[in-house]
């Protein structure tokens, strides 16, 4: 059964019960009233019948026909029974409305009853019994009258009640439907919408066309739903924005509750420490994060309730990350303790820059100190009298000239490196026929190679045109060729190769010299870095050439690749795009 029809059916059943109860009550009252009236009437008539029956029995002045006629006129049959249970007078047979079964039942009731002057209703027959003594013989005079009118009245009562009930039900349905449409249905609709709102469906709405309090309720529910939907939308947008901000922070973030459980981690934190979000959220911080320094920072925040900063060194594969951890307590508006927020700043690059600055200053100081010390020492020696010895004078002056040239080269490379590292550094672009460009470089290093009896080979194929700065690219390849000759022993080989690879060209410079250890390859492009410092210095290098090479190649949007094996040689490959594009 639908809940929408339940109230109406309840009221209908209640009305039916009330009407049926009313019908039963009216029927009983009518029956009792009718019996009382009959009893009073027959009680009065019994006096006439007593005299008539006595006259009929004692002096026989009254014939049986007269007695039956009198009985028929009053519609009352007479039955006189003595105490010996003999029927003396009987006019029932003349009344067709009274059956023999009724007669038998009345006789049985009169003979078995000890009550006197009592009227009773037996189905559709009413009988009244009164004591009567005739000729010294006691008995009972029974007056019997059919009462089918009582059944008719009862049926009419029930008919009226039935019609009234039908009219009442029709009225109930009409009024109930009207009430249901105007009051119950809108309340039901509002209740359903309220249930949907409670479930989180803030798009639910109810019809607002009702009047009165129901209309106000529907309107209020819809206003509430719209406000909740707007609040949810705003809250969702704010949550998405907050989540986007947290996940896109460059610093790692961890939120810990007052019991020590991790509530939130962001993407930067997982990139630094590894793992997935589910391996952190919901766990105690000292179980999920395996670093004692972080545990101590959190404990200090819990103990002192103030901001704490710590520095930790995080091993990642063969490298190390430097992280600055800032822990701050979280309090509610009522100053209640809510937890700790940790922010992890990756300062690895800052540390590297600081170290590079220190190394640069130290390297420059060292590189400058050596030639300056030599120049000053030999100058002082000459001033102390050695200049009078012509042979020694010439020798010392040659050394001073060599060291000053070395000092000049170092300063020139520093200036050149500073220039290419500047943000406003620009290239003078032109179309370069690369095979001709490379062929013109070979003679420039032939003399240097001949001094060491090094065989210089070139394998230049293709006829590619590359857009670039010819003077800068010349500086790159001359540097690489000079390094190949310098770090190759006497009688070795140096090969210059060129290959057109479609959208880019590849220039390779190979040697069979000393080679570079694998662990040193990643650092050879650092300023002043030397694999073999003594050999590099004796070869005349400043330690800045490869750093300059890297910056110029990257300025052309290219890249440098290195393959080397100690004792077997090294191959530098420069990849350059044919067309220069500004990014």
Higher pLDDT: 23 or 546? It is 546
Q: What is the model's pLDDT at position 56?
A: 67
Name residues whose C-beta falls within 8 Å of residue 430's C-beta, 6 or more positions apart in sequence. Answer: 467, 468, 469, 470
Instruction: Report the C-alpha gap between 576 and 432 in whole angstroms.
Output: 12
Is residue 254 within 8 A of residue 288, CB to CB? The reply is no
Q: What is the model's pLDDT at position 279?
A: 83
The residue-averaged pLDDT of 165-185 equals 72
Residue 241 structure tokens: 């924005």
**Sequence-ordered strand ranges (E) for 461-552:** 465-468, 493-500, 504-511
The residues that bridge with 436 in the sheet, in sequence order, are: none
Q: What is the DSSP track for 164-210?
A: HHHHHHHHHHHHHHHHIIIIIHHHHHHHHHHHHHHHT-TT-------
Instruction: Report the C-alpha gap between 323 and 310 in whole angstroms.
Output: 8
Q: What is the model's pLDDT at position 184?
A: 66
- pLDDT higher than threshold 50 for residue 381: yes
Q: Which of 470, 567, 452, 435 is nearest to 512 (CA)?
A: 567
Q: What is the model's pLDDT at position 359?
A: 67
**Range 258-265, long-range pairs (CB < 8 A, 24+ positions):** 258/337, 258/338, 258/339, 260/284, 260/285, 260/286, 260/298, 261/285, 262/288, 263/339
**Structure confidence at residue 358 as a pLDDT band (50, 70, 90):** confident
**Range 122-129, long-range pairs (CB < 8 A, 24+ positions):** 124/97, 124/148, 124/150, 124/151, 125/98, 126/35, 126/38, 126/42, 128/38, 128/39, 128/42, 128/43, 128/46
Name residues whose C-beta falls within 8 Å of residue 50's C-beta, 6 or more positions apart in sequence. Answer: 130, 132, 141
The residue-averaged pLDDT of 119-129 equals 66
β-pair type (493-500, 455-460): parallel
The residue-averaged pLDDT of 476-502 equals 86
Residue 532 structure tokens: 């073999």
Q: In a 3-state reduction of DSSP, which class is residue 68?
A: helix
The residue-averaged pLDDT of 349-355 equals 78
Round to the nearest angstrom and report the end-to-end CA distance of the chain: 74
- pLDDT higher than threshold 80 for residue 289: yes
Higher pLDDT: 302 or 56? It is 302
- pLDDT higher than threshold 80 for residue 41: no
Q: What is the model's pLDDT at position 72?
A: 67
- pLDDT higher than threshold 80 for residue 525: no
Q: In a 3-state reduction of DSSP, which class is residue 513?
A: coil
Residue 359 structure tokens: 């190394």
- pLDDT higher than threshold 70 for residue 280: yes
Is residue 221 within 8 A of residue 193, CB to CB? The reply is yes
Q: What is the model's pLDDT at position 534?
A: 47
Is residue 135 within 8 A of residue 86, CB to CB? The reply is no
Across 4-8, 76-80, 304-308, 363-367, the highest mean pLDDT is recorded for 304-308
Question: How large a percentage of the chain has pLDDT more than 90?
Answer: 0
pLDDT tens-place string over residues 211-264: 666 677 777 778 887 787 788 777 767 777 777 777 777 788 888 988 889 888
The residues that bridge with 337 in the sheet, in sequence order, are: 331
Instruction: Report the C-alpha gap between 335 and 457 in whole angstroms.
Output: 80
**φ and ψ of 384, to 5 deg:** -80, 0
Dihedral sign for Cα 189, 195, 197, 199, please: negative
Q: In a 3-state reduction of DSSP, which class is residue 122?
A: strand
Instruction: Report the C-alpha gap between 488 and 511 in whole angstroms.
Output: 7
The residue-averaged pLDDT of 502-528 equals 82
- pLDDT higher than threshold 70 for residue 209: no
Q: What is the model's pLDDT at position 414?
A: 66
Q: What is the model's pLDDT at position 499?
A: 86
pLDDT tens-place string over residues 554-578: 888 888 888 888 888 899 999 988 8
Q: Which of 195, 165, 176 is nearest to 19 (CA)?
A: 165
Instruction: Report the C-alpha gap between 160 and 22 in whole angstroms.
Output: 11
Is residue 276 within 8 A of residue 293, CB to CB? The reply is no
Q: In a 3-state reduction of DSSP, which class is residue 137?
A: strand
Higher pLDDT: 153 or 1? It is 153
Q: What's the maximum distance between 2 C-alpha atoms anywhere in the chain?
A: 208
Q: What is the model's pLDDT at position 536?
A: 46
Q: What is the model's pLDDT at position 132?
A: 74
C-alpha angle 231/241/232, rounded to 5°?
A: 15
Q: What is the model's pLDDT at position 429?
A: 82
The residue-averaged pLDDT of 479-494 equals 86
Higher pLDDT: 68 or 345? It is 345
Phi-psi region of 491 (alpha: psi -120 to 50; beta: other; left: phi over 0): left
Supply the mean pLDDT for the chain: 76
Is residue 245 within 8 A of residue 215, CB to CB? The reply is no
C-alpha angle 332/337/338, rounded to 5°?
A: 70
Is residue 354 within 8 A of residue 382, CB to CB? The reply is no
Burial of 132 per CB tally in 10 Å (0-12, 13-18, 19+): buried
- pLDDT higher than threshold 50 for residue 537: no
Instruction: Report the C-alpha gap between 546 and 557 in whole angstroms.
Output: 16
Q: What is the model's pLDDT at position 229?
A: 77
Instruction: Report the C-alpha gap between 261 and 243 in whole angstroms.
Output: 20
Q: Which of 301, 351, 364, 305 is nearest to 324 (CA)?
A: 351
- pLDDT higher than threshold 50 for residue 321: yes
Q: In a 3-state reduction of DSSP, which class is residue 148?
A: helix
Give how far Cα 475 sits from Cα of 119, 413, 478, Å.
Answer: 146, 11, 5
Distance of CA 508 to the CA centre of its chain: 56
Instruction: Report the C-alpha gap between 12 and 19 in whole angstroms.
Output: 11
pLDDT tens-place string over residues 80-116: 777 666 666 767 665 656 666 666 666 766 666 654 5
Q: What is the model's pLDDT at position 1?
A: 47
């Amino acid at each position: 059964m639908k809940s929408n029809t339940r109230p109406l059916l309840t009221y209908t059943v209640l009305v039916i019960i009330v009407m049926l109860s009313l019908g039963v009550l009216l029927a009983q009252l009518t029956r009792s009233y009718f019996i009382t009236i009959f009893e009073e009437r027959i009680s009065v008539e019994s006096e006439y019948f007593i005299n008539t029956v006595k006259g009929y029995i004692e002096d026989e002045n009254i014939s049986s026909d007269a007695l039956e006629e009198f009985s028929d006129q009053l519609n009352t049959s007479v039955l006189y029974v003595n105490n010996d249970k003999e029927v003396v007078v009987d006019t029932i047979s003349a009344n067709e409305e009274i059956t023999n079964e009724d007669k038998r039942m009345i006789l049985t009731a009169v003979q078995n009853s000890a009550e006197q002057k009592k009227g009773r209703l037996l189905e559709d027959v009413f009988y009244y019994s009164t004591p009567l003594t005739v000729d010294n013989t006691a008995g009972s005079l029974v007056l019997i009258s059919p009462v089918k009118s009582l059944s008719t009245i009862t049926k009419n009562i029930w008919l009226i009640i039935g019609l009234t009930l039908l009219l009442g039900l029709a009225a109930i349905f009409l009024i109930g439907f009207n009430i249901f449409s105007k009051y119950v249905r809108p309340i039901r609709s509002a209740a359903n919408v309220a249930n949907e709102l409670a479930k989180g469906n803030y798009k639910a709405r109810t019809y607002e066309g009702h009047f009165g309090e129901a209309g106000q309720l529907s309107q209020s529910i819809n206003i509430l739903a719209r406000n909740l939907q707007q609040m949810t939308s705003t809250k969702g947008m704010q949550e998405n924005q907050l989540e986007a901000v947290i996940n896109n922070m460059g610093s790692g973030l961890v939120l810990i509750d007052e019991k020590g459980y991790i509530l939130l981690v962001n993407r930067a934190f997982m990139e630094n420490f590894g793992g997935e979000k589910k391996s952190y959220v919901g766990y105690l911080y000292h179980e999920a994060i395996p670093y004692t320094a972080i545990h101590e920072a959190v404990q200090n925040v819990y103990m002192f309730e103030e901001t704490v900063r710590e520095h930790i060194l995080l091993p990642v594969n063969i490298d190390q990350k430097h992280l600055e951890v800032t822990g701050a307590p979280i309090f509610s508006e009522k100053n209640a303790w809510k937890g700790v927020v940790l922010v992890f700043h990756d300062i690895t690059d800052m540390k590297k820059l600081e170290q590079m600055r220190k190394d640069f200053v130290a390297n420059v100081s060292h590189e400058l100190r050596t030639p300056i010390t030599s120049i000053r020492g030999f100058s002082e020696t000459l001033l102390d009298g050695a200049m009078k010895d012509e042979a020694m004078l010439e020798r010392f002056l040659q050394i001073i000239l060599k060291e000053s040239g070395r000092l000049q080269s170092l300063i020139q490379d520093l200036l050149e490196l500073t220039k290419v590292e500047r943000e406003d550094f620009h290239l003078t672009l032109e179309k370069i026929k690369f095979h001709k460009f490379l062929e013109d470089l070979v003679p420039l290093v032939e003399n240097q190679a001949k001094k060491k009896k090094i065989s210089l080979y070139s394998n230049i194929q293709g006829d590619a045109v590359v857009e670039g700065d010819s003077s800068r690219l010349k500086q790159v390849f001359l540097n690489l060729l000079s390094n190949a000759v310098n770090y190759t022993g006497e009688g070795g080989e140096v090969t210059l190769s060129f290959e057109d690879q479609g959208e880019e060209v590849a220039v390779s410079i190979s040697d069979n010299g000393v080679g570079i250890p694998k662990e040193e390859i990643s650092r050879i492009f650092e300023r002043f870095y030397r694999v073999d410092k003594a050999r590099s210095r004796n070869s005349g290098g400043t330690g800045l050439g490869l750093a300059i090479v890297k910056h110029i190649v990257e300025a052309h949007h290219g890249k440098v690749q290195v393959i080397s094996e100690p004792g077997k040689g090294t191959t530098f490959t420069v990849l350059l795009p044919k067309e220069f594009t500004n990014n």
